[in-house]
């Protein structure tokens, strides 16, 4: 399944769960117990169709989740072109119109179903208190969901929940695949472009990198200048050779956009990468700016493997621990060093260069 289609349905699933729960809660707050409260003021037999209200809230939640997913997906795709503030304003207007249309449609359906005249004339929403309560609730729920998505992106998919429940308050040992990926000839490019245009150049490169990440189950640990640190849990990193296929997919994307880079910057970016695998510690750090930090020798080793790319004129170097877990033909890798001594390390490693399958 193409990554965009997969991402759309993942967002649709999460938003469906969220909006169904949100509108079910809204119905519970408004109507549960209302019948008993009204009996305090009248002796008449009252009946409120609570079950129908809950059924309706589920239907509304599903409808809202579909429109919400489409709108958010479109704006996520346009995020690199739109200023965040403008994006929020445009989406707010769209959501406001959506709420008016949705509530008006539901009102007309109820009017037909109950055979009663409801206040749904043109412009009904302007003075309708229930409408504005619903809008306020929708806005608050949207903010909560947006903050959840931002936090999930910030900590990495799935990690935000782990942070919420305090999993990493104490360091946890985990196995990760780490990739250090760095721009080749960065000093020369920076000197030629100047710091302002060079910054835009790096920004464009990392946008292209980010567009390749989700296809291969990868997360970004951090950006440092013109270098990015990518990681995978071991099961995702080695599945379908994700950890090396990401690098080649990124290379291909940069080649497809070579005309864009040549025209705008007169340079076509090339990246080199080093990969290593092993155990490290994951811990929650900071109070002013919380983050998940990796500690361990795997990080230093992956960085030093990447630094050897220029020495051997190779784009992708991996350690033996990576190669042992990949499923690739012998024609696509080459032993560079039987026992490479890495700077600052007593351990000697076998280093391999991998070419595209």
CATH for 303: 3.30.70.1230
Domain closes at, from 131, 155, 179: 155
Tell me the CB-side half-sphere exposure of residue 35, using CA atoms within 13 A.
9
At residue 264, the pLDDT reads 93
The mean pLDDT value of the chain amounts to 80
Over residues 235-258, the mean pLDDT reads 92
Q: Which residue has the higher pLDDT, 288 or 36?
A: 288
At residue 144, the pLDDT reads 84
Whether 163 maps to a domain, the answer reads no
The partner residues of 281 in beta bridges, in order of sequence, read 173, 295
At residue 40, the pLDDT reads 47
For the stretch 135-188, pLDDT in tens is 888 888 888 888 787 777 766 666 667 766 677 788 889 999 999 999 998 999
Tell me which residue has tokens 């169709």.
49
At residue 344, the pLDDT reads 57
The partner residues of 180 in beta bridges, in order of sequence, read 229, 274
Close Cβ partners of 229 (under 8 Å, ≥ 6 residues apart): 178, 179, 180, 181, 220, 221, 222, 223, 299, 302
Tell me, rounded to whole angstroms, the distance of Cα 323 from its chain centroid: 28
Do 187 and 129 share a structural domain? no
Token duo for residue 309: 């790319």
**Cβ(45)–Cβ(3) below 8 Å:** no
pLDDT at 126 over 80: no
Tell me the CB-side half-sphere exposure of residue 112, using CA atoms within 13 A.
5
Please give the Cα distance from 236 to 320 (Å, whole number). 18
Close Cβ partners of 241 (under 8 Å, ≥ 6 residues apart): 326, 327, 328
Please give the Cα distance from 42 to 351 (Å, whole number). 84
Domain closes at, from 155, 182, 217: 155
Domain closes at, from 128, 155, 182: 155
**Cβ(292)–Cβ(283) below 8 Å:** yes
Please give the Cα distance from 11 to 299 (Å, whole number). 32
For the stretch 300-336, pLDDT in tens is 889 989 988 988 889 999 998 998 898 888 767 776 7
283, with CB counted inside 10 A (0-12, 13-18, 19+), is middle
User: Containing domain of residue 196, as a range?
Assistant: 170-354
Do 277 and 130 share a structural domain? no
**Cβ(69)–Cβ(19) below 8 Å:** no
15, with CB counted inside 10 A (0-12, 13-18, 19+), is buried
Please give the Cα distance from 215 to 318 (Å, whole number). 21
Whether 162 maps to a domain, the answer reads no
Do 30 and 128 share a structural domain? yes
Close Cβ partners of 200 (under 8 Å, ≥ 6 residues apart): 265
Tell me the CB-side half-sphere exposure of residue 118, using CA atoms within 13 A.
17
At residue 274, the pLDDT reads 94
Query: How large a percentage of the chain has pLDDT more than 70?
Result: 76
Over residues 273-285, the mean pLDDT reads 91
**Cβ(261)–Cβ(268) below 8 Å:** yes
pTM of the model: 0.71
Do 292 and 179 share a structural domain? yes
Do 13 and 69 share a structural domain? yes
Task: From 296, 249, 299, select the one nearest 274 (Cα to Cα).
Answer: 299
Do 224 and 330 share a structural domain? yes
Please give the Cα distance from 104 to 106 (Å, whole number). 5
Whether 141 maps to a domain, the answer reads yes
Over residues 236-253, the mean pLDDT reads 92
């Amino acid at each position: 399944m193409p990554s965009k289609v997969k991402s759309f349905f993942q967002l649709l699933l999460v938003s469906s769960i969220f909006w169904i729960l949100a509108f079910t809660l809204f119905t519970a707050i408004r109507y549960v117990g209302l019948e008993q409260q009204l009996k305090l003021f009248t002796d008449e037999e009252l009946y409120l169709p609570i079950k129908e209200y809950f059924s309706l809230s589920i239907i509304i939640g599903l409808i809202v989740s579909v429109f919400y997913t489409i709108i958010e997906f479109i704006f996520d795709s346009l995020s690199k072109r739109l200023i965040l503030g403008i994006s929020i304003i445009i989406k707010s207007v769209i959501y406001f119109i959506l709420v008016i249309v949705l509530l008006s449609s539901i009102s007309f359906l109820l009017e037909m179903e109950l055979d009663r005249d409801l206040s749904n004339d043109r412009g009904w929403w302007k003075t309708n208190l229930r409408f504005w309560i619903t809008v306020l609730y929708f806005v608050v729920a949207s903010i909560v969901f947006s903050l959840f998505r931002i936090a999930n992106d910030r900590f990495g998919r799935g990690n935000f929940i782990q942070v919420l429940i305090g999993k990493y308050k104490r360091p946890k040992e985990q196995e990760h695949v780490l990739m250090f990926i760095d721009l080749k000839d960065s000093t020369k490019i920076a000197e030629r472009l100047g710091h302002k245009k060079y910054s835009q150049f790096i920004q464009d490169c990392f946008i292209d990198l980010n567009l390749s990440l989700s296809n291969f189950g990868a997360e970004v640990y951090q950006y440092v200048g013109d270098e990015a640190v990518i990681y995978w849990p071991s099961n995702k990193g080695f599945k379908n050779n994700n950890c090396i296929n990401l690098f080649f997919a990124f290379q291909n994307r940069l080649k497809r956009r070579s005309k864009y880079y040549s025209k705008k910057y007169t340079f076509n970016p090339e990246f080199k990468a080093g990969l290593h695998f092993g155990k490290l510690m994951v811990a929650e750090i900071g109070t002013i700016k919380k983050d998940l930090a990796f500690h361990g020798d795997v990080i230093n080793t992956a960085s030093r493997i990447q630094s050897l790319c220029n020495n051997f004129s190779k784009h992708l170097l991996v350690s033996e621990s990576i190669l042992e877990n990949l499923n690739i033909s012998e024609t696509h890798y080459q032993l560079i060093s039987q026992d490479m001594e890495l700077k600052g390390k007593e351990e000697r490693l076998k280093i391999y260069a991998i070419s595209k399958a």
